[in-house]
Amino acid sequence: MMKTGEEENKVENRHHALGFSDQDVLNMYRIMLTARRIDERLWLLNRAGKIPFVVSCQGQEAAQVGAAFALNREKDYVAPYYRDYGFVLAWGMTVREMMLNNFAKAEDPNSAGRQMPGHFGDRKLRMLTHSSPVTTQNPHAVGIALAAKIKGDDIVSFVTFGEGSSNQGDFHEACNFAGVHKLPVIFMCENNHYAISVGLKHQLACAHVSDRAAGYGMFGRTFDGNDPLAAYAAVKEAADRAHRGEGPSLLEANCYRLQPHTSDDNDMTYRTKEEVDAHKKYDGVLTFAQYLRDLEILTPDVEQQLEEQIRSEIDEATDYAEQAPFADPDSVLRYVYEEKD
Ligand SMILES: Cc1ncc(C[n+]2csc(CCOP(=O)(O)OP(=O)(O)O)c2C)c(N)n1
Ligand SMILES: [Mg+2]
């Protein structure tokens, strides 16, 4: 017997219960896909000798975009780390700005081409400048939360970092201070199972990074980092707690790094292609697209349109950034010392 359309469509709509319209989740997907397509373009540009370095977000977009949607994008303060392409796009950075950053051009709002790519920071977006020593952003985010508490500002401070970095002193000091002072800060670990070549089992003796929350008297949770709706729910819960004065949270997005550590790394020296391929079926960009297709939100027409729009936006941004001037060498000391004028 032929199945009716309704019988075939067995996928449960999970986004309506979270307060999202179909257009909202399509927008979420558009940002995830934009991050992925930018990343793919960056690898091509790097291999063509046009940009020096790629640090990849592939495999972490779902957690990043879901998290951004759970925060107040007009008020909250954020300290994203170097893989957060999906997060910063959702937060308001443009594709053109991302390309200017990767071409290290003067117009790059993050550091005017001074820092490595992915070292985000933009005052107008309340986004802290990123520093290369990993997890230095954690105490910085705690400082923002402390200032907010002292001033009585009802904001949340949000910070991301890798699981390898969660073994470093700055992470623990930041957690401890935030826990003692019940600060409105959300620590979100993007656990992609590798710290360069070091696999998870050589990094942690506990099962989850979030298990450490208890030691600092804070709320902890691990969620599926391939699912933007799970990321949204976890970050929303943590933000609600922070607004109620219940202090910090330690969240952990369970992801997988689909690309080598950077464009200078050969991951085949420490993991197998079979292992990477096995994780591809959980890739959030693919599984969320399937969810939207099953609900007939992402129809073939919409999908084609989306791909075309993203492609032309990235083409335009690439051309613009490639032709944009580098910083004037005479400006080298700007942003090093305070300017009093
Ligand atoms: C203090 C410090 N030590 C070492 C490094 C070199 N380093 C850069 S990224 C990285 C691995 C970080 O792994 P993880 O925290 O899991 O983040 P991922 O890159 O996997 O997202 C290391 C060791 C650094 N940048 N800073
Ligand atoms: Mg890692």
Look at residue 1 in the predicted model and tell me its pLDDT: 44
Ligand 1 center to 325 CA (angstroms): 31
Q: How many domains does the chain have?
A: 1
In-domain check, residue 186: yes
* Ligand 1 contact, 192 CB (< 6 A): yes
In-domain check, residue 107: yes
**Which of the ligands is closest to the CA of residue 170?**
1
Answer whether 186's CB lies under 8 Å from 234's CB: no
Cα atoms in the 13 Å half-sphere on the side-chain side of 303: 13
In-domain check, residue 338: no
- Cβ neighbors of 24 (< 8 A, separation 6 or more) are 15, 69
State the Cα–Cα distance between residues 21 and 134, nearest whole angstrom: 37
CA-based nearest residue to 166, from 147, 193, 184, 130: 193
Facing residues of 198 across strands? Answer: 195
Distances (CA, A) of 26 to 20, 23, 31, 38, 195: 10, 5, 9, 18, 32
243 alpha carbon, distance to own chain's centre: 22
- Which ligand 1 atom lies nearest to the CA of residue 194? 20
Ligand 2 center to 261 CA (angstroms): 9
Token readout for 240 is 């609600």
Query: What residue numbers bound the domain in which 314 lies?
Result: 13-264+271-320
Query: What HEC string does 30-86 produce?
Result: HHHHHHHHHHHHHHHHHHCCCCCCCECCCCCHHHHHHHHHCCCCCCCEEECCCCCHH
Token readout for 55 is 């640090």
State the Cα–Cα distance between residues 77 and 71, nearest whole angstrom: 9
Look at residue 7 in the predicted model and tell me its pLDDT: 53
Ligand 1 center to 221 CA (angstroms): 22
Collect the ranges in the chain with pLDDT lower than 70: 1-9, 341
State the Cα–Cα distance between residues 54 and 42, nearest whole angstrom: 6
- Torsion sign across C-alpha atoms 126, 67, 154, 151: negative
Helix, strand, or coil (residue 87): helix
Ligand 2 center to 193 CA (angstroms): 5
In-domain check, residue 1: no
Q: In the block, which residue shows the tokens 């400082």?
A: 143
Count of CB atoms situated within 10 Å of the CB of 181: 15
Q: Whose CA is nearest to atom 17 of ligand 1?
A: 162
Helix axes 95-102, 22-47, angle to 10 degrees: 20
In one letter, which amino acid is 255? C
Q: In the block, which residue shows the tokens 């330690």?
A: 250
Ligand 2 center to 274 CA (angstroms): 19
* Ligand 1 contact, 195 CB (< 6 A): yes
In-domain check, residue 259: yes
Would residue 271 be called left, alpha or beta, if left means φ above 0 and alpha means ψ between -120 and 50 degrees?
Answer: beta
Ligand 2 center to 215 CA (angstroms): 22
Token readout for 11 is 């996928």
Q: Whose CA is nearest to atom 19 of ligand 1?
A: 195
- Which ligand 1 atom lies nearest to the CA of residue 196? 11
Look at residue 327 in the predicted model and tell me its pLDDT: 94
In one letter, which amino acid is 282? Y
Look at residue 341 in the predicted model and tell me its pLDDT: 67
* Ligand 1 contact, 250 CB (< 6 A): no
In-domain check, residue 8: no
Ligand 1 center to 284 CA (angstroms): 23
- Which ligand 1 atom lies nearest to the CA of residue 83? 21
In-domain check, residue 6: no
* Ligand 1 contact, 164 CB (< 6 A): yes
* Ligand 1 contact, 133 CB (< 6 A): yes
Look at residue 134 in the predicted model and tell me its pLDDT: 97
State the Cα–Cα distance between residues 316 and 323, nearest whole angstrom: 11
In-domain check, residue 314: yes
Q: Whose CA is nearest to atom 7 of ligand 1?
A: 134
* Ligand 1 contact, 57 CB (< 6 A): no
Look at residue 79 in the predicted model and tell me its pLDDT: 98
Ligand 1 center to 170 CA (angstroms): 13
Query: What does the angle CA 328 – CA 330 – CA 332 come to, to the nearest 5 degrees?
Result: 85
CA-based nearest residue to 130, from 108, 147, 106: 108
Helix, strand, or coil (residue 319): helix
* Ligand 1 contact, 214 CB (< 6 A): no
Find the CATH number of the domain harbouring 136: 3.40.50.970
